[in-house]
Amino acid sequence: MTDEHLRTSFYDLHLRQGAKMVHFAGYEMPVQYPLGVMKEHLHTRQKAGLFDVSHMGQLVLRGKSYEQVAAELETLIPMDVINLKEGRQRYGFLTNENGGIRDDIMFANRGDHIFLVVNAACVEADLAYLRKNISPEINVKHLKNRSLLALQGPMAERVLAEHYPAICDMTFMDVETIPLAGSECWVSRSGYTGEDGFEISVPETVAVDLANTLVMHDNVELIGLGARDSLRLEAGLCLYGHDIDVHTSPIEAGLSWAIQHRRKDHGGFPGADRILRDLANGQSQKRVGLQPVGKAPMREGSELFQTEGSLEKIGMITSGGFGPTVGAPVSMGYVSSEFAQPGTTIFGEVRGKRLPVKTAELPFTGPNFKR
Amino acid sequence: MKFTEEHEWLRIEDDLVVVGITEHASTQLGDIVFVELPDEGQTVSKDDEAAVIESVKAASDILAPIDGEIIEVNQAIIDEPSKINEDPLGVGWFFKIKPDDLSQMDDYMDERSYNKLIA
């Protein structure tokens, strides 16, 4: 039954709301609702959008103490896990021996354990890898009885405050246990849109109740994967498997900010040789924003050249499309470092034609976080 | 009016054939953000890629439904691609072809058959 796709708790809700469903990372997920990608995108930037992101993997790492689990996780990721304060979350990535990226993740200090959110397509590989490579004293559990919702946008705080006023005290990357829909939810102030917002891990038993309550709010609309992609692209955020993968070093991907000083100084994670060498010596290519000069979107796979006629490829677009908030096409990709200076005009090949595109700072919009 | 399996419509206007995409196609594609049309005066053969449209989701080719010469293209949809979503059968037309052989129109569906196809 290879064509059997999993469904999240919200499957019936999606259909009832008129979603167009697609297959994504082994799940049947909503790509858009009747509002359409453009309006869903703009609504999220102006008000609040509700996303079903339950396809993502929710993992708990538990041992004798937080410190023990943190020290073990640090052998696999170049982040400072040990000094992460309780109730705080960080962005990170599992690296491989070549200094590439196995997966990008969010991890939180939950007091006596670590809570991880990983990409849907990587869940099984991550589980096997973690279990094999950290101490058997650490229990690695995949939580299959919790759903994940994201409420994103400038009105997200106000909407959740109607249910739990103290939500306003949380700042970007805080994580707390909060009662919503009469049940224990794990809420982080984070997201994948460049907007302020929250990600809510909710027990499956009350997940649909919570989603129904939130979606009834005048300022909330359900948002599909289509707008999720254009929102994160404008926000300059990487999509695993496209903008970063097992071959990309976090340095060329522009993610060195996610590696804390202690880890840069002492290494001790897979691929540290390449990653620390790239940090010290610079890298041959860089991830940059790319803004097409004309109106034609330049999508993933478009090759980049220095001039209209030059033969040598200088880079490649890894994500691209139309940015509804920018009101123009936007892309990101990798270019040889000598062309990475923002404002450099290069050429992207679209349907056999070379069209001008300017390198640009990322993000294209925002961020609008509550620090 | 005739319809193709590629979800284009053809309408005879004077001695020209006007071509556009159907309501069904525009809904399926979603918000259209970019259009590339052929040059006026360009000769096309049936099934040539004559135009490209890009929605927020993806790019699609628009095929020339008949042989002929492109007489006029709709500049309005280049300037404002959303006009295609707003009125695909009217102001959202794509191009006008001077047909070499009008009988090529006979290969295509009438409205009733097309509605069955998309039902």
Complex ipTM, two decimals? 0.84
Smallest CA–CA distance from B60 into chain A, residue: A351
Whether the CB of A241 is below 8 Å from some CB of chain B: the reply is no
Domain final residue, candidates A234, A260, A276: A234
Q: Which residues of B have a CB under 8 Å from any CB of A?
A: 30-31, 33-34, 36, 52, 54-59
Rounded Cα–Cα distance for residues A205 and A208 (Å): 8
Q: Is A199 a domain residue?
A: yes
Contact A351 B31 (CB under 8 A): no
SS3 of residue B100 by DSSP: coil
Radius of gyration in angstroms for the set of CA atoms belonging to chain A, rounded to a whole number: 21
Give the total number of structural domains in chain B. 1
For the range A9-17, what are the long-range contacts, defined as Cβ-Cβ under 8 Å and sequence gap of 24 or more?
A9/A54, A9/A147, A9/A204, A9/A207, A9/A208, A10/A52, A10/A54, A10/A147, A10/A207, A10/A208, A10/A211, A12/A208, A13/A208, A13/A211, A13/A212, A13/A215, A14/A52, A14/A222, A17/A215, A17/A222
In a domain? residue B55:
yes
| Same-domain pairing of A20 and A164 | yes
* Domain limits for position A220: 6-55+145-234
For residue B40, tell me if it sits in a domain: yes
Is A296's Cβ below 8 Å from some Cβ in B?
yes
Q: Give the residue, B23 or A4, on which the prediction is more confident.
A: B23
- Cβ contact B54–A297 (<8 Å): yes
Least confident piece of the model among A89-98, A298-307, B44-53, B54-63: B54-63
Share of chain B above pLDDT 70, in %: 100
- List per-residue pLDDT tens for chain A, 371 residues long: 446 899 999 999 999 999 999 999 999 999 999 999 999 999 999 999 999 999 999 999 999 999 999 999 999 999 999 999 999 999 999 999 999 999 999 999 999 999 999 999 999 999 999 999 999 999 999 999 999 999 999 999 999 999 999 999 999 999 999 999 999 999 999 999 999 999 999 999 999 999 999 999 999 999 999 999 999 999 999 999 999 999 999 999 999 999 999 999 999 999 999 999 999 999 999 999 999 999 999 999 999 999 999 999 999 999 999 999 999 999 999 999 999 999 999 999 999 999 999 999 999 998 889 88
Domain for residue B52, yes or no? Answer: yes
Give CA separation, A254 vs A196, A243, A269, in Å: 22, 11, 18
Residues A159 and A30 in one domain: yes
Measure A180 CA to nearest chain B CA, in Å: 34
Query: Domain range for residue B25?
Result: 2-103
Q: Which residues of B touch A322 (CB under 8 A)?
A: 31, 33-34, 54, 56
Evaluate whether A123 touches A130 at the Cβ level (below 8 Å).
no
Q: Is residue A153 part of a domain?
A: yes
Residue at B13 is within a domain: yes
Q: Answer whether residue A253 is part of any domain.
A: no
Query: How many residues can be counted in chain A?
Result: 371
3-state SS assignment for residue A27: strand
Would residue A103 count as lying in a domain? no
For residues A327 and A181, state if they share a domain.
no
> Is residue A151 in a domain?
yes
| Domain shared by A307 and A199, yes or no | no
What is the CATH classification number for the domain harbouring A332? Answer: 2.40.30.110
Tell me the three state secondary structure of residue A323.
strand
For residue A24, the model assigns a pLDDT of 94
Given A219, A234, A249, the domain boundary residue is A234
Q: Contact A36/B36, CB-based, under 8 Å?
A: no
Residue A171 and residue A28 share a domain: yes
**CATH number of B11's domain:** 2.40.50.100
- Is residue B115 over pLDDT 90? yes
Residue B110 lies in a domain: no
Any domain includes B36: yes
Residue whose entry in the numeric block shows the structure tokens 């953000």: B33
* CATH label of the domain that carries residue A49: 3.30.1360.120
SS3 state at B90: coil
* pTM beyond 0.90, yes or no: yes
Question: In a 3-state reduction of DSSP, which class is residue A260?
Answer: coil
Residue A269 lies in a domain: no
Q: Is residue A165 part of a domain?
A: yes
Q: Phi, psi at residue B77, to the nearest 5°?
A: -80, -20
Q: Which residue reads 């409420």 in tokens?
A: A151
pLDDT at residue A196, rounded to an integer: 98
In a domain, B112, yes or no: no
Interface contact B56-A296, CB threshold 8 A:
no
Counting the structural domains of chain A, the total is 2
Whether residue A35 is found in the same domain as residue A153: yes
What pLDDT, on the 0 to 100 scale, is given for residue A1? Answer: 41
Q: Which residues of A touch B57 (CB under 8 A)?
A: 31, 37, 226, 321
Residue A343 counted as domain residue: yes
Check CB contact under 8 Å for B56 and A31. no
**Position A41: which residue type?**
H
Q: Say how far apart CA A332 and CA A239 lie, in whole Å.
A: 11
Q: What is the pLDDT of residue B57?
A: 81
